[in-house]
A = this chain, B = another copy of it.
Amino acid sequence: MARNGPQLDRRAGGRGAPLPSQGVSHKRVRTSQSCETVMRLSRYFLPVLKENPAEAQIVSHRYMLRAGMIKQQAAGIYSWLPLGFRVLKRIEEIVHEEQIRAGHIPLLMPTLQPADLWRESGRYEDYGEEMLRITDRHKRDLLYGPTNEEMITDIFRAHIGSYKDLPLTLYHVQWKFRDEIRPRFGVMRGREFYMKDGYNFDLTKEDALHAYNRHLVSYLRTYERMGLQAIPMRADSGPIGGDDTHEFLVLADTGESEVFYDSKVTDIHLGSREIDYDSHEECRSVMEEFTALYARTDETHDEARFNERVPAERQRRARGIEVGQIFYFGTKYSEPMGATVVNDKGERAPVHMGSHGIGVSRLAGAIIEASHDDKGIIWPEGVTPFHCGIVNLKQGDAATDGACGEIYGALTAKGLEPLYDDRDERAGAKFATMDMIGLPWRITVGPRGLASGKVELTSRRTGESEEMTPEAAVARIEEIYAGA
């Protein structure tokens, strides 16, 4: 690195230069034209259901179907309809941004993998029936990747040979498949699912543990940006292997895991504090802060220890949804697969590795489980599919149509994306749709209000409304998202 270059701000949360996109999302030039087709309900494809679908047992599954976000195509395999696709992309984008901020490098591995790679690590037979095994026309064994430790190790060993190229963390966001025996709960336990998985390669165990801590911090920030509190809990490593592992759990009654924790753990937030991801000390200190208190899943729960360490009044037994997991597993893959580097003494040694996953498609469901009411979804600002809704109470009326058009134009001119309900429908139906799809803010435009120059801005979360001019409503929406 340049020794005398300007001091670049590598800390998270600062307000310096733009974050590089790594090709993930690079609006170099904001191109022209506001295309009305795609943000006006009359021309959009939003198949909202009026009835609760019988097959959905949990609220996120029910609401994702009712809000026209997904459609099941086979057991545990879903299409993401336009609204669902928008949410999925917003979640993915936050994941990318926080990975890049932490210095991790994106690439993309394919969905299908050769079985031979998994024979090298010994996991081909071990993995069991959850692995979808495929034979191609030449009778070669392939599989639909459930995870990518073998493949990333293969990429590493093909190209890296020196300690000078370390540390290195590579990750991708890609579709995976696990042939669950009983897929259910919609995208929460699907078979084809979208996941971020990242892999660190380090010379020493100490460096690899820093990578572990760095991932922990970046995950905390990722979830908080999505409006979630995800608590790191000591977990079991399962088929990935290794000693150190934490799962991130979002508390929700419908969670599949039983969790046990000290209630004080829910008081800790990363917030806007700045972290230098290169600093071992800073990352370790955040890790320790977030993992010092007792918080475990049923896999690792120790009742005696729980009682000993947590005062009775702070003991919590609840349920949680797993939204991510980090692992340190040392040389488990690098050794059998020959992923080695030469160190500064000329000696060759296997690299220390870990892997780190975030359930991207599952998060869409987990966020709904954590944020809804009996009318529908309530999206946190960070992941909402549209920044706000515009409801025209009297479609076809010159004044309301004109005002809605102006608000729509003013918002899109600022780069915000409203969803304008310009359908010829009753007010009640429009409100019900907006409540179900859960946009956090709604601007309602009716003839009576307009007569005195006012529209209504309503918070989906609190239900509170405020009258103001259209200009003030646009300014408020802009202000809300400037900080999101």
Contacts and interface: CB of A to CB of B under 8 A. Distances in A.
Nearest to A481: B28
Interface string A91-107: 00100010011011111
Nearest to A42: B1
Contacts of A398: 3-4
Interface stretch (A15-23, A283-291, A451-459): A15-23
A37 B406 contact: no
A88 B409 CA distance: 32
Contact of A23 (B142, B192, B385): B385
Contacts of A29: 481-482, 484
Nearest to A405: B5
Q: Which residue of A84, A137, A420 has the most chain B CB atoms within 10 A of its CB atom?
A: A137
Nearest to A159: B47
A177 interface: yes
Interface string A435-460: 00000000000000000000000000
A415 interface: yes
Contacts of A19: 30-35
Interface in A361-420: 385, 387, 392, 395-396, 398, 401-402, 404-406, 408-409, 412-413, 415-417, 420
A112 B170 contact: no
Given A38-B100, A484-B29, A73 B9 contact: no
A106 B134 contact: no
A77 interface: yes
A227 to B, nearest CB: 14
A121 to B, nearest CB: 15
15 contacts: A5-B408, A11-B32, A12-B33, A14-B33, A17-B409, A23-B85, A23-B89, A23-B90, A38-B105, A45-B168, A74-B112, A78-B110, A85-B107, A134-B134, A175-B175
Given A19-B35, A137-B179, 6 more contacts: A5-B405, A8-B34, A29-B482, A45-B165, A80-B109, A81-B155
> What 4 A-B pairs are tightest by C-beta distance, nearest first?
A5-B405, A23-B86, A37-B103, A47-B159
